[in-house]
Amino acid sequence: YSVGPGLLWTPFFVAADGLNLFLNGLGFEVNTSGYGPVHINAVALGSFAYGIAALFVIHAFLRRPFGDRLAGGAVLLLWWASFYEWYLAEQPLTSHPLSVLLVAAFFLLRQKEALATPGGSLVMGLVLGVGMSVRWQNGVYLLLPAVDLLAAAARREALGGIVRRGLSMSAGVFVGILPQMLAWKAIYGEYLLSYPPHGADFLRLDRPFLLNTLFSSRHGLLSWTPVFWLCVLGLIPLTRR
């Protein structure tokens, strides 16, 4: 498992420790192993809180191009008509709600043109780096700032500024993903793995199983969650706009 969720859950875990000490002082018998109900429920509550915060960040991202009403409706559909509710209420001890929050924050920063300054680039890189520590698959979003910097070069912006922003973002990504690299080094003896930690056959770029992923009767994205058809169709007017 990735180490990012554990890092982000730490405040809630520590709070559970404090509550256990308090209850123990009152004479109650409590489970102090770290796997007792107080710790588990505290971490679950933290995951739920991060997940709800993600919805507000998504709304902030959508309201600029679409306005409050449409953005609010889209967020409610995401919450109530997708599998997101499952990860909030039924399986909160997963990385998914935290991942959504960090990726949404990355998109919001990109929308606000954080990449235009070295400081903003550093923050955006840090957010994405932590997101990669939460779920290493989030590294795919590195393609977007890479495209942005290439577009800036195509517009003949000052090369020195582009390089500084690129280095600042790279530094932020490195700091954010460093905990995961240290964990891999401790477990596998390598800072960067040659294959995904799930196994060499987990990711096959030459065979992405696209139809199965989208249309399988067993949790296919579009067949199992039809509200995402609206998302795909909405890309058409968004692109025109």
What is the average pLDDT value for the chain, to the nearest integer?
A: 93
Q: Is the pTM of this model over 0.85?
A: yes
Residue 232 has which token pair?
């795909």
SS3 3: coil
What lies within 8 Å, CB to CB, of 97 at 6+ separation is 47, 48, 50, 51, 54, 84, 87, 88
Write out pLDDT tens, residues 164-199.
Answer: 999 999 999 999 999 999 999 999 999 998 887 777
Distance CA(92)–CA(44), nearest Å, equals 5
Residue 203 has pLDDT above 80, yes or no: no
Residue 228 identity: F
Whole-number percent of the chain with pLDDT over 90: 80
